Amino acid sequence: MQVHNFNAGPSMLPNEVLYKASKALIDFDGLGMSILEISHRSEAFLQVMAEARQLVRELLQLDEDFEVLFLHGGASTQFMQVPYNLLDAGETAGYLDTGVWANRALKEARLFGNVEVVASSADRNYCYIPKSFTVPKHLKYLHITTNNTIYGTQWHQIPEVEVPLVADMSSDIFSRRLDFNKFALIYAGAQKNMGPAGVTLVVVRKSILGKVSRLIPTMLDYRVHIQHESIYNTPPVFAVYISMLTLRWLKEQGGVDAIEKRNEAKAALLYREIDENPLFRGTADPADRSRMNVCFVMNDPSLEKEFLEFCKKEDIVGIKGHRLVGGFRASIYNAMPIESVEYLVESMRYFARTHG
Amino acid sequence: MQVHNFNAGPSMLPNEVLYKASKALIDFDGLGMSILEISHRSEAFLQVMAEARQLVRELLQLDEDFEVLFLHGGASTQFMQVPYNLLDAGETAGYLDTGVWANRALKEARLFGNVEVVASSADRNYCYIPKSFTVPKHLKYLHITTNNTIYGTQWHQIPEVEVPLVADMSSDIFSRRLDFNKFALIYAGAQKNMGPAGVTLVVVRKSILGKVSRLIPTMLDYRVHIQHESIYNTPPVFAVYISMLTLRWLKEQGGVDAIEKRNEAKAALLYREIDENPLFRGTADPADRSRMNVCFVMNDPSLEKEFLEFCKKEDIVGIKGHRLVGGFRASIYNAMPIESVEYLVESMRYFARTHG
Ligand SMILES: Cc1ncc(COP(=O)(O)O)c(C=O)c1O
Ligand SMILES: Cc1ncc(COP(=O)(O)O)c(C=O)c1O
Ligand SMILES: [Mg+2]
Ligand SMILES: [Mg+2]
Ligand SMILES: [Mg+2]
Ligand SMILES: [Mg+2]
């Protein structure tokens, strides 16, 4: 990375991962072949897959009932794969509607069974996390999007529920310590916090599977992938490899607890500047602010174009806000060093001084 | 590549593709970011996707009604995605059962409608291509596996049919000139002839879509991916990029017609040696031999282990046959230079001289 890359996903990766991967593209492990040229059934790749799965288990401190899968398809595939495997026709799943992605997930579930929107923050453009709601006991599962990438909100308190909890953690997986064993199923597209685009992590409690009556196509059946240790068909070899390297890097950084402290510091620094700087203000309710995606606008919207151009000149990349929120979004996932956040803060200050 | 890599898939790629990709992993197009770190909505990646799609169109000489998609999931996902989109409940699709992959495809189709096995070569362990069969006119489509990777057979004559023809070309796409406009849908996992694992090419005639009554999950609906120009969700960016580079390379080689000549020469050389060498014999019926996967055994099976070890010592990789056929399989896809085939032939001769 030679720029300050605040892309929301795909996002920046640790330099050491990229350097290692760049070499593996020419010669993997001294085999005289590229990582792209080896068989997915070779000992070399079996080891990559096994290490990746083991690292997930270790970093999330998962109990024995869980299986770790690296699947094709992106998080959007999970929007339908989850209900395909868990929600029978006639049954009801609950969804917490906290943004675009949560909404897409619940729409897919409607193809398979009934959906109850347990709570929604659509009334104020998803700028907050719903606080008081009751979760009906008859739900087959409750689906939560732990971090809302577009709106910059995050569940800092995971609801305590009696029904199985399914979580889309695409934009905050591995960023903070949670009791991951409280979930029944967790999924995450790799391309934000743990790898490149092209592979999706699924962590699933075996005991919740096999309870729907519909026939599940082989490639969509979690049990098939569990049985084949995530190599039922040719997996996305390179994306799994990069994820493994990124998880290794994360472990070397001290794991989830250590990275959480760094993520807290990065977010605190940036939000403090947004609050103190007279030109900017945050868009999410302060209590629900995401530590991953920091969304902000300018008090004088006519300055936004100029600030964006200024950022571009300063090698600050990917800072434009999603069109549904406007303004700016700085995504500061695990791989983002605090130095880049400091650089952004300095740039905001400089801009304020020169445009005060 | 520093070895002679006969892997069946993932398989060898052109060195120049790997060198270019290795650099793009550190800095893509002078952006100061890795190809893994750019947004899939960035101009840079939109261009990659557009060029990849255009190269497919050009190399296959597709007419206007076709759409070119790069999808998640592997060819196995297409086994179910094809009938999901094309076969209504109660309708019947025909399948040509010419090997393990054809068989898996037809089994998935049974989840969606009726399947008629129009012809099968299961009776002789799939060592040939069925010759005389009639294709009922009521079929919704006929599914063919143009090259049977495991058994080393290939359809040299594509059947002339009056129903829409759907083809799994995973192991011979871009290897020979066909009238691709005769097909209704073509799919191919990229990892043999056109790229790395983790992306699947789908070429589909728009006019065959939208004719089933079932609801199709968004990620499985070809029409959604067409509408979003193959970027509905985050695509497997790197796998698309490598495919684009490989297709560019193919075009530089002279395109499909030029590569076909080279593939013919490579296959002829190897089959001649198998036939002439007293130690070896081919497993597929000569008329149906694949130009991509050359399967052979030894007349004295007790020598096979030694030949395999000899190959290993000689840096010949990936030559072990699939357990369903035994013996050896040399996969000689587009990227394989004739020099490696010559090297294999020399090694077989040397082995025969020393074990005659
Ligand atoms: C929280 C969340 N869920 C799901 C998705 C969709 O992911 P994909 O593009 O991998 O399908 C995204 C993409 O940004 C996301 O942020
Ligand atoms: C002809 C054919 N079809 C389908 C497949 C399955 O492909 P994937 O592993 O990408 O699902 C293969 C894999 O070797 C194949 O050779
Ligand atoms: Mg969102
Ligand atoms: Mg302020
Ligand atoms: Mg086969
Ligand atoms: Mg012979």
A167 phi/psi in degrees, rounded to 5: -125, 130
Residues A232 and A276 in one domain: no
**Tens digit of pLDDT for each residue in A23-44?**
999 999 999 999 999 999 999 9
Q: Give the number of whichever ligand sits closest to the CA of residue A82.
A: 1
Q: Which residues of A touch B33 (CB under 8 A)?
A: 1-3, 5, 12, 317
**Residue B144 to residues A261, A273, B56, B120, B183, Cα–Cα distance (Å):** 56, 62, 20, 11, 10
Of A184, A219, A252, which one is at a domain's C-terminal end? A252
> Considering the domain boundaries, does residue A327 fall inside one?
yes
Is the minimum distance from the CB of B74 to ligand 2 under 6 angstroms?
Answer: yes
Residues B233 and B273 in one domain: no
> Considering the domain boundaries, does residue A90 fall inside one?
yes
Round to whole Å and give the CA distance between A175 and A166: 18
Domain containing residue B244: CATH number: 3.40.640.10
CB nearest B218 (choices: A7, A108, A220): A108
Q: Which residues of B touch A215 (CB under 8 A)?
A: 111
Q: Which residues of B touch A213 (CB under 8 A)?
A: none
Is the minimum distance from the CB of B76 to ligand 2 under 6 angstroms?
Answer: yes
Nearest-atom index, ligand 2, CA of B9: 14
- B318 and A3 within 8 Å at the Cβ level: the answer is no
Whether pLDDT at A221 is above 60: yes
Q: What is the mean pLDDT of chain A?
A: 97
Q: Which residues of B touch A107 (CB under 8 A)?
A: 218
Residues B232 and B293 in one domain: no
**Tens digit of pLDDT for each residue in A314-338?**
999 999 999 999 999 999 999 999 9
Residues A121 and A248 in one domain: yes
Confidence at A1, pLDDT banded by 50, 70, 90: low
Residues A230 and A268 in one domain: no
Give the HSE-up count for residue A120: Cα atoms under 13 Å, Cβ half-sphere. 13
Q: Which residues of B touch A218 (CB under 8 A)?
A: 76, 79-80, 104, 107-108
Is the minimum distance from the CB of B233 to ligand 1 under 6 angstroms?
Answer: yes
Optimal mutation site among A13, A28, A201, A233, interface B, most CBs of chain B within 10 A: A233
pLDDT at A188: 98
Of B229, B252, B275, which one is at a domain's C-terminal end? B252
**Tens digit of pLDDT for each residue in B100-153?**
999 999 999 999 999 999 999 999 999 999 999 999 999 999 999 999 999 999
Is the minimum distance from the CB of A152 to ligand 1 under 6 angstroms?
Answer: no
Residues A135 and A284 in one domain: no
- Which tokens hold the place of A344? 């952004």
Q: Which helix (H) or strand (E) holds B92?
A: strand B92-97
Optimal mutation site among A80, A220, A225, A238, interface B, most CBs of chain B within 10 A: A238
* A234 carries a ligand binding annotation: yes
Whether pLDDT at A2 is above 90: no
Confidence at B356, pLDDT banded by 50, 70, 90: confident
Q: Give the number of whichever ligand sits closest to the CA of residue A232.
A: 2
> Considering the domain boundaries, does residue A107 fall inside one?
yes
- A22 and B22 within 8 Å at the Cβ level: the answer is yes
- Which tokens hold the place of B317? 């990789």
CB nearest A7 (choices: B37, B79, B191): B37
Residues A298 and A153 in one domain: no
Residues B30 and B108 in one domain: yes
* B77 carries a ligand binding annotation: no
Residues A48 and A187 in one domain: yes
Which of B70, B71, B76, B151 best tests ligand 2's pocket when mutated (most atoms within 8 Å of CB)?
B76
* B191 carries a ligand binding annotation: yes
- A79 and B218 within 8 Å at the Cβ level: the answer is yes
**Tens digit of pLDDT for each residue in B193-247?**
999 999 999 999 999 999 999 999 999 999 999 999 999 999 999 999 999 999 9
Is the minimum distance from the CB of A75 to ligand 1 under 6 angstroms?
Answer: yes
**Tens digit of pLDDT for each residue in B266-286?**
999 999 999 999 999 999 999
Of B252, B271, B295, which one is at a domain's C-terminal end? B252
The complex's ipTM works out to 0.98
- Which tokens hold the place of A62? 């998962």
Which residues form the domain of A337? Answer: 255-355
Q: Look at residue A269 and give its three-state secondary structure.
A: helix
Residues A322 and A206 in one domain: no
Query: Shortest Cα distance from B137 to chain A (angstroms)?
Result: 27
List all residues 6 or more positions away from B155 whose beta carbon is below 8 Å from its beta carbon: B98, B129, B144, B146, B147
Q: What is the mean pLDDT of residues A114-136?
A: 97
Short-list A296, A300, A291, CA closest to A275:
A296
> Considering the domain boundaries, does residue A6 fall inside one?
no
**Chain A: residue nearest B26 by CA?**
A18
CB nearest A196 (choices: B7, B36, B215): B36
Query: Shortest Cα distance from A317 to chain B (angstroms)?
Result: 10
A63 catalytic per annotation: no
Q: Which residues of A touch B238 (CB under 8 A)?
A: 196-198, 238-239
Percent of chain A with pLDDT over 70: 100
- A37 and B315 within 8 Å at the Cβ level: the answer is no
* Number of structural domains found in chain B: 2
Round to whole Å and give the CA distance between A338 and A267: 9
B227 C-alpha to ligand 5 centroid (Å): 33
**Chain B: residue nearest A73 by CA?**
B72
Residue with CA closest to ligand 2 atom 5: B75
Confidence at A356, pLDDT banded by 50, 70, 90: confident
Is the minimum distance from the CB of B9 to ligand 2 under 6 angstroms?
Answer: yes
- B234 and A79 within 8 Å at the Cβ level: the answer is no
Nearest-atom index, ligand 2, CA of B200: 10
Q: Name B142's bridge partners.
A: B94, B165
Whether pLDDT at A88 is above 60: yes
Is the minimum distance from the CB of B75 to ligand 2 under 6 angstroms?
Answer: yes
CB atoms within 10 A of CB B149: 25
Confidence at B64, pLDDT banded by 50, 70, 90: very high
Q: What is the mean pLDDT of residues B312-327?
A: 97
Whether pLDDT at B1 is above 60: no
**Tens digit of pLDDT for each residue in A169-181?**
999 999 999 999 9
Residues A215 and A184 in one domain: yes
Write out the catalytic residue numbers of B. Answer: 101, 168, 192
- B23 and A21 within 8 Å at the Cβ level: the answer is no
Optimal mutation site among B115, B234, B343, interface A, most CBs of chain A within 10 A: B234
CB nearest B40 (choices: A10, A32, A37): A10
Domain containing residue A294: CATH number: 3.90.1150.10
A192 catalytic per annotation: yes
Which of B220, B231, B233 best tests ligand 1's pocket when mutated (most atoms within 8 Å of CB)?
B233
**Tens digit of pLDDT for each residue in A298-309?**
999 999 999 999
> Considering the domain boundaries, does residue A79 fall inside one?
yes
Confidence at B89, pLDDT banded by 50, 70, 90: very high
Which of A149, A154, A193, A292 best tests ligand 1's pocket when mutated (most atoms within 8 Å of CB)?
A149
Residues B321 and B232 in one domain: no
- Which tokens hold the place of B235? 């695509």
Q: What is the mean pLDDT of residues B183-187?
A: 98
Round to whole Å and give the CA distance between B52 and A165: 40
Query: Shortest Cα distance from A2 to chain B (angstroms)?
Result: 5
DSSP for A98-141? Answer: -SHHHHHHHHHHTTTSEEEEEEE-GGGTT-S--------TT-S-
Q: Name A186's bridge partners.
A: A167, A203
CB nearest A198 (choices: B19, B215, B237): B237
A95 phi/psi in degrees, rounded to 5: -130, 140
- B217 and A5 within 8 Å at the Cβ level: the answer is no
Buried b vs exposed e over B261-287: b needs ≥16 C-beta within 10 Å? ebbeebbebbbebbeebebbebbbeee
- Which tokens hold the place of B210? 């939208």
Round to whole Å and give the CA distance between A5 and A138: 44
Query: Shortest Cα distance from B250 to chain A (angstroms)?
Result: 17
